[in-house]
């Protein structure tokens, strides 16, 4: 509950509306994401979480409202959307790696074409990020040769290679086999602990509770409840939030850090693990450290 | 339907496998019969004289079949390149958000798809008469490339458009969200994937183009510009035998059969990858 010293806002959304035909999907959203913050968005299926996220980098064009990224209005026909997108990494549920390019090329193609980096520079940057996600040895592989979890980590490395100021994640682990979820979440934890600003749509309550600075609960195209994870997930005040959390948490009763526990259990005594050290869970519960972020 | 209701033991029915076997034997018997009839009725001497005269085969092969084969290949290859480039532009225009581009591309495609290719060739043949001083460089190759390429572009545009549309929208979203402008995303991400999908159908169109190149005879080329059909036809009528034309026909197969095999391989591989 300690109010962190307010950092500069990176994204400011005011009264965002979006409808598909007669379907009003977003009905007046306002939210702010500050430098270095990790904001998790939770909510039932169809509540407009993905649409909200996709409006921020204009993959969907808002019907009305204001979205300011780095102080610049995005919802303006004259804004240079490519320039704004360069500062935002996006990670999709379905990975969307480029299947005709190798892992390394996936991470360099935008650097060389958009940022006009030299090939060497781009490759160095790509390797640095592939190492960060624990996939250095896969740089020559093609996406089809990788597991879902590996593909998603490449997708993260690809986005990071553009040196984004903000990372958007749309249910990055929802398409993964359960045993691969932990690897991706570990990478995201580490990213968070390094101070990356992150906006994450997720169904992983344990991750949200552990890593988020703020949790937004959405339902029916509006923000129902917003606050620290201990509050929104731990002691929700709104009825709709309670119902949703009951439904999500009850069947399996996910514990905080459960995915890390499962991860550790899987890798105990594992000798030939390909990249265990890289995926070692980052400093657990960075919220415990409180002041860790600047 | 009543077999199950009657008390009498039903006639033993053939199993489907046995029945299929029996039908197949009947078919084999008919085939052998037809072959035998042909073998006895046909005048083999006449057939050989007409289609496979050995001295004419030799003449056809030595007199310039190489040049004709080369011309067929050069005509086809040039037209294919033009068709591919133009077809890609047309496909992108058809998918453009700019309405006039879509109209122009649609009119172009429907026009050249709807016309018999030979009319286009005749038109190009008459062009220099109709327009004084109208010359397409690299005669006769330039004219053939343009005429055949225009016809090819209409067909290829539709194939390429289908290929572009087969690229999942998520690919474009990923490219755009990395900050790529739409042109870069098209060039680096969409087109390479589209062409991978459509390589087999495009190769099929190349095969059609090989055969369509025979239509260039209407341009009234000089002997050095003869391709296989014109060459074989000329020798055939000079010698009153079909043999040169048969040789020319086999030369087409030398080009098209390997292409067919390649297409089949690619299709099999794509099926496996999926
Ligand atoms: N491109 C589109 N065209 C029409 N309707 C759409 C489109 N995208 C989303 N919708 C509709 O918008 C609503 C919200 O979709 P959205 O994907 O944002 O939900 P979500 O909260 O992300 O759900 P989930 O948890 O299932 O991903 C849904 O009713 C969906 O049918
Ligand atoms: Mg969604």
Please identify which residue in the block is written with the tokens 């591309």: B105
CA distance A267 to A166: 31
The ligand whose atoms approach the alpha carbon of A54 most closely is: 1
Determine whether the interchain pair B177/A59 forms a contact, defined as Cβ–Cβ distance below 8 Å.
yes
- Helices B243-273 and B191-212: crossing angle in degrees, nearest 10, is 160
A256 CA from centroid of ligand 2 (Å):
23
Cβ–Cβ contact B172 with A under 8 A: no
CA-angle at A204, arms to A201 and A209, nearest 5°:
95
Determine whether the interchain pair A96/B170 forms a contact, defined as Cβ–Cβ distance below 8 Å.
yes
For residue A278, name the pLDDT band (cuts at 50, 70, 90): very low
Residue A203 CA: nearest ligand 1 atom is: 25
What is the number of other CB atoms lying within 10 angstroms of the CB of residue A62?
23
Residue nearest to atom 25 of ligand 1 (CA): A45
- Taking CA atoms, A176 is separated from A153, A200, A247, B54, B95, in Å, by 11, 16, 21, 69, 34
Residue A93 CA: nearest ligand 1 atom is: 27
Q: Containing H/E element for A13?
A: strand A9-20
Q: Are strands A64-69 and A166-170 parallel, antiparallel or unpaired?
A: unpaired
Q: Containing H/E element for A20?
A: strand A9-20
Residue nearest to atom 12 of ligand 1 (CA): A25
- Taking CA atoms, B244 is separated from B212, B225, B249, B252, in Å, by 19, 17, 9, 13
pLDDT of residue B181: 95
Residue A21 CA: nearest ligand 1 atom is: 4
Sequence-ordered list of residues with C-beta below 8 angstroms from that of A168, at least 6 positions apart, any chain: A53, A56, A57, A88, A89, A90, A91, A198, A199, A200
CA distance B128 to A48: 64
CA quadruple A167, A171, A175, A181: dihedral sign: positive
Whether B87 and B160 have beta carbons less than 8 Å apart is answered as yes
**Chain B: residue whose CA lies nearest to A86:** B179
A58 CA from centroid of ligand 2 (Å):
15
Rg of chain B's alpha carbons, rounded to an integer?
A: 27
Q: Longest Cα pair distance anywhere in chain A, in angstroms?
A: 57
Query: Mapped to the 3 state alphabet, what secondary structure does A160-184 carry?
Result: HCCCCCEEEEECCCCCCCHHHHHHH
Q: Which of A231, A179, A187, A225 is nearest to A207 (CA)?
A: A187
Cβ–Cβ contact B181 with A under 8 A: yes
Q: Are strands A222-227 and A214-219 parallel, antiparallel or unpaired?
A: antiparallel
Query: B33 burial class (0-12, 13-18, 19+ CB within 10 angstroms)?
Result: exposed
**Which of A16, A26, A40, A51 most suits a substitution to test ligand 1, by most atoms within 8 Å of the C-beta?**
A51
Range with the lowest mean pLDDT among A67-76, A97-106, A223-232?
Answer: A67-76
pLDDT digits (tens, 9 = 90+) for A33-69: 999 999 999 999 999 999 999 999 999 999 999 999 9
Does residue A25 have its Cβ closer than 6 Å to ligand 1?
Answer: yes
pLDDT in single tens digits along all 274 residues of chain B: 444 555 556 667 788 899 999 999 999 999 999 999 998 888 888 888 888 888 888 888 888 888 899 999 999 999 999 999 999 999 999 999 999 999 999 999 999 999 998 999 898 888 877 787 777 787 788 888 999 999 999 999 999 999 999 999 999 999 999 999 999 999 999 999 999 999 899 999 999 999 999 988 888 778 888 888 888 898 888 888 888 999 999 999 999 999 999 988 988 887 776 5
Residue A60 CA: nearest ligand 1 atom is: 1
Residues of B in contact with A171 (CB under 8 A): none
Cβ–Cβ contact B189 with A under 8 A: yes
Average pLDDT, chain A: 85
- Helices B54-63 and B228-239: crossing angle in degrees, nearest 10, is 140
Residues of A in contact with B179 (CB under 8 A): 82-83, 85-86, 110, 114-115, 162
- Please determine, for residue A263, whether its predicted confidence score (pLDDT) is greater than 70: no
User: Hey, what are B188's tokens?
Assistant: 């680096």
Sequence-ordered list of residues with C-beta below 8 angstroms from that of B41, at least 6 positions apart, any chain: none
Determine whether the interchain pair B176/A94 forms a contact, defined as Cβ–Cβ distance below 8 Å.
no
What is the number of other CB atoms lying within 10 angstroms of the CB of residue A202?
23
| Nearest neighbour of B196 by CB, restricted to A92, A100, A109 | A100
CA distance A141 to A273: 18
Cβ–Cβ contact B176 with A under 8 A: yes
pLDDT of residue B267: 85
Q: Mean of the pLDDT values across residues A171-187?
A: 93
Please identify which residue in the block is written with the tokens 């949703």: A244
Q: Which of A152, A120, A119 is nearest to A135 (CA)?
A: A152
> Torsion angle, CA of A17/A18/A19/A24, rounded to 10 degrees?
-50
Does residue A202 have its Cβ closer than 6 Å to ligand 1?
Answer: no
Q: Which of A158, A72, A129 is nearest to B178 (CA)?
A: A158
**Which of A16, A18, A23 most suits a substitution to test ligand 1, by most atoms within 8 Å of the C-beta?**
A23
Whether B175 and B185 have beta carbons less than 8 Å apart is answered as yes
DSSP state of B187: I
Q: Mean of the pLDDT values across residues A250-256?
A: 54
pTM for this model (two decimals) = 0.81
CA distance A112 to chain B (A): 10
Does residue A22 have its Cβ closer than 6 Å to ligand 1?
Answer: no
- Taking CA atoms, A97 is separated from A137, A155, A160, A231, B67, in Å, by 17, 6, 14, 36, 48
pLDDT of residue B138: 77
- Taking CA atoms, B185 is separated from B89, B181, B188, in Å, by 15, 6, 5
> Torsion angle, CA of A278/A279/A281/A283, rounded to 10 degrees?
30
Determine whether the interchain pair B174/A59 forms a contact, defined as Cβ–Cβ distance below 8 Å.
no
Q: Which residues on neighbouring strands pair with residue A200, listed in sequence order? A: A40, A169
Stated length of chain A: 294
Stated length of chain B: 274
Residue nearest to atom 2 of ligand 1 (CA): A20
Determine whether the interchain pair A110/B178 forms a contact, defined as Cβ–Cβ distance below 8 Å.
yes
The ligand whose atoms approach the alpha carbon of A52 most closely is: 1
Does residue A45 have its Cβ closer than 6 Å to ligand 1?
Answer: yes
DSSP state of A143: G
Determine whether the interchain pair A97/B173 forms a contact, defined as Cβ–Cβ distance below 8 Å.
no
Cβ–Cβ contact B188 with A under 8 A: yes
CA distance B261 to B200: 10
Does residue A134 have its Cβ closer than 6 Å to ligand 1?
Answer: no
């Amino acid at each position: 509950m300690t109010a962190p010293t307010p950092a500069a806002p990176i994204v400011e959304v005011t009264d965002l509306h979006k409808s598909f035909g007669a379907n009003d999907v977003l009905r007046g959203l306002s939210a702010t994401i500050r430098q270095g913050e990790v904001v998790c968005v939770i909510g039932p299926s169809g509540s407009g979480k993905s649409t909200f996220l996709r409006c921020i980098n204009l993959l969907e064009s808002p019907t009305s409202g204001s979205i300011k990224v780095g102080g610049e209005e995005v919802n303006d026909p004259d804004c240079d959307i490519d320039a704004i997108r360069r500062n935002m990494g996006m990670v999709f549920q379905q990975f969307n790696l480029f299947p005709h390019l190798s892992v390394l090329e996936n991470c360099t193609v935008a650097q060389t074409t958009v940022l006009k980096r030299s090939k060497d520079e781009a490759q160095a940057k790509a390797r640095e990020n592939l190492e960060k996600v624990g996939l250095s040895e896969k740089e020559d592989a093609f996406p089809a040769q990788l597991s879902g979890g590996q593909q998603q980590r490449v997708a993260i490395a690809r986005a990071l290679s553009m040196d984004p100021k903000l990372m958007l994640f749309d249910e990055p682990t929802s398409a993964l086999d359960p045993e691969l979820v932990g690897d991706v979440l570990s990478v995201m934890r580490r990213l968070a602990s390094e101070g990356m600003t992150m906006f994450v749509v997720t169904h992983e309550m344990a991750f949200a509770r552990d890593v988020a600075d703020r949790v937004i609960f959405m339902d029916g195209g509006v923000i129902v409840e917003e606050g620290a994870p201990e509050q929104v997930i731990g002691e929700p005040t709104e009825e709709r939030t309670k119902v949703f959390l009951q439904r999500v948490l009850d069947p399996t009763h996910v514990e905080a850090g459960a995915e890390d526990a499962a991860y550790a259990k899987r890798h105990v005594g594992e000798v030939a693990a390909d990249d265990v050290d890289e995926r070692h869970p980052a400093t657990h519960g960075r919220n415990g450290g409180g002041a860790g972020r600047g | 339907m009543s077999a199950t209701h009657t008390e009498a033991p039903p006639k033993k029915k053939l199993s489907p496998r046995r029945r299929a076997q029996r039908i197949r034997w009947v078919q084999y018997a008919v085939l052998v019969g037809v072959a035998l009839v042909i073998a006895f009725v046909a005048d083999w001497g006449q057939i050989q004289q007409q289609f496979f005269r050995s001295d004419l085969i030799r003449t056809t092969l030595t007199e310039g079949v190489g040049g004709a084969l080369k011309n067929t290949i050069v005509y086809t290859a040039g037209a294919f390149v033009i068709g591919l480039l133009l077809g890609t532009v047309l496909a992108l225009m058809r998918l453009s958000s700019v309405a006039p581009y879509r109209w122009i591309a649609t009119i172009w495609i429907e026009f050249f798809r709807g016309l018999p290719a030979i009319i286009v060739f005749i038109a190009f043949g008459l062009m220099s008469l109709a327009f004084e001083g109208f010359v397409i460089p690299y005669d006769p190759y330039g004219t053939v490339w343009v005429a055949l390429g225009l016809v090819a572009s209409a067909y290829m545009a539709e194939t390429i458009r289908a290929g572009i549309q087969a690229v999942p929208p998520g690919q474009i979203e990923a490219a755009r969200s990395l900050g790529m402008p739409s042109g870069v995303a098209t060039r680096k991400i969409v087109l390479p994937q589209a062409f991978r999908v459509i390589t087999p159908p495009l190769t099929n169109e190349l095969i059609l183009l090989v055969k369509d190149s025979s239509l260039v005879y209407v341009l009234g080329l000089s002997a050095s510009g003869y391709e296989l059909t014109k060459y074989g036809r000329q020798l055939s009528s000079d010698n009153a035998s079909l043999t040169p034309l048969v040789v020319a026909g086999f030369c087409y197969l030398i080009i098209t059969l390997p292409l067919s095999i390649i297409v089949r391989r690619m299709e099999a591989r794509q099926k496996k990858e999926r």
